Structure 1
């Protein structure tokens, strides 16, 4: 099969012929029909991810995927060849104490395509633990829509709805208008938040945030950024603040912009040794909850797919480019210069020139 392969961290990503992944007894082999280009893939390629480093090189990135089952492991009971499927990027084990407590996003024996093993920048990807983690795609949901849920929207769903507990009529401020941040905007709009403030340095990203459901935007470079956010949310801050960027400043500002007795969710992952100076006096004195959020549970994926099928959520609105495997590899390398606005989706996987 053809796959995008890197053989050194930060080195060239080339389209190569490699063996089709081996199928585990509890897994399915999926012909990839769509896969997103995510900044997390860039982190893996640059050598920032411990799982990728532990796996070793060469490596194939990719974790936002959808496709068609072409082979089924002997112990799989719920899937057949021809099924249209997707899966979250955290594949839980079902056996550890966290899975037993229904906290599968922190499973102690999780697998992750594109991080713990070769991912979906390829014609085929293997997905272990299929009966636990793989989900069918409704006929009315496209492969592109399903794949675009795979990381950014699922991550936003958990951050905003589950961990952040956003309710209809509440206010939310979202720091960072990248893929996860913009997905948080759309999720907040679908829940019925009455004030949705997006904060970012990019005016293009802020323009897109307004089109996707933000009621207000704030340019992050202004000196009174926090004051503006607080005023837009009633004067004392937002019911829920989400740091979707992962920088020290965005974390600090998110805490400062959370109202008394409000919630702050940290979902953006820092690069390197980012240590924010969290105003803990405000956290304690104003009884602010700080909540971590990571990934998404497979059992919640059908609800998101139903939201797409019913047109209450359309993740394809974030898709700005549909490209070939080779073009996707080039875009991943170009993220050294910053992430493009919106989602890039790889939909063509066989290069006849190879």
Structure 2
């Protein structure tokens, strides 16, 4: 089968032919029909994360937003069948640790990060092996296309988990989203679907236009006006929830400064080598105004059905953010385009 391999940081991925994966007793093999190209793939391609002991090793098959159908089932797997259409989370749990047993499989103590570590080769490939499949996989409703399921990837599930589970967003609250890449746009659409007012922030017109199309009530050009002041004006006192979906010091500080008293900042974006995992933050402001600072990563596999019900209902439409469908051979160029923020929406590999 064909795969795209990280051979050197920042250089084109190498297309290789390798053997199809073998199935473990607890796993399944999935034929990949679509896989999103995510900014987290870009971070891995750039070699980021060494400051957090999280650098993706050379030789890794990248890709972590797949959807497809099962072609082989392990001997111990009884809940899934060959032919099942499935969504595959990037944060794979083993289903046995304390976190998994308590509904937090996205932070499994012995978990796997699909496409980011040697034990779980990624989905820029014709097929992948998914361990502990009965715990990790969710059947896709017929109404959800493979493109849309790949767009759910890590972006929609991360945004949904942050807003629905970490924050428990309430209808009528205001949400500010700083950075309108795929993750930020997913957060805009989900916040709107959950009944919140949404302010979208970026420095580019195309993503802000898309944000308006998928639910933003107002947009702010961060390079043309004071972000906190603009959000204060729109929301009459500041956002209840503010998300940094980019991972830069400026967007994080703007997010905190955009909150009203007792508001909640959620950090979703990962840092680059400019910040190397650390920001200087206005801690006195956080203390003075009783502000909460949360992190969030992926979503527990056991809760995928909540988001899929929103997709089935039409209230959330991940397909609306798919702007480009490409071949596996195009992935390197699309990752390079992310360096200068030349992409918008969600791009998906559909030809392997």
Give me the TM-score of the superposition, normalised by structure 2: 0.94
Structure 2 counterpart of 1:348: 351
Structure 2 counterpart of 1:295: 298
Q: Which runs of 5+ in 1 are unaligned?
A: 350-354
Q: Following the alignment from structure 1 to structure 2, what is the Cα–Cα distance between the partners of residues 161 and 183?
A: 13
CA contact (8 A) 2:48 2:55 kept: no
Structure 2 counterpart of 1:232: 234
Structure 2 counterpart of 1:4: 4
Structure 1 counterpart of 2:25: 25
CA deviation map 1:19-73 (0-9, x unaligned): 1122221110000000001111111122114599777432211110110100011
What root-mean-square deviation, in Å, do the aligned CA atoms of Structure 1 and Structure 2 show? Answer: 1.7
Q: Give the 3-state SS of the residue equivalent to 1:66 in structure 2.
A: strand
Q: Following the alignment from structure 1 to structure 2, what is the Cα–Cα distance between the partners of residues 262 and 15?
A: 47
Structure 2 counterpart of 1:62: 63
Q: Which runs of 5+ in 2 are unaligned?
A: none
Structure 2 counterpart of 1:220: 222
Deviates more, 1:12-21 or 1:63-72: 12-21
Count how many residue pairs are aligned between Structure 1 and Structure 2. 347
CA deviation map 1:165-222 (0-9, x unaligned): 21111111111111111001000110111x2101111121111111111000011113
Structure 2 counterpart of 1:90: 91
Q: Give the 3-state SS of the residue equivalent to 2:112 in structure 1.
A: coil
Tell me if 1:241 matches 2:242: yes
Structure 1 counterpart of 2:208: 206
Q: Following the alignment from structure 2 to structure 1, what is the Cα–Cα distance between the partners of residues 281 and 272?
A: 17
Q: Following the alignment from structure 1 to structure 2, what is the Cα–Cα distance between the partners of residues 152 and 260?
A: 28
Give me the TM-score of the superposition, normalised by structure 1: 0.93
CA positional deviation for 1:336: 2.8
Structure 2 counterpart of 1:352: none
Deviates more, 1:335-344 or 1:107-116: 335-344
CA contact (8 A) 1:172 1:197 kept: yes
Q: Following the alignment from structure 1 to structure 2, what is the Cα–Cα distance between the partners of residues 101 and 66?
A: 26
CA contact (8 A) 1:148 1:343 kept: yes
CA positional deviation for 1:162: 1.4
Q: Following the alignment from structure 1 to structure 2, what is the Cα–Cα distance between the partners of residues 317 and 286?
A: 37
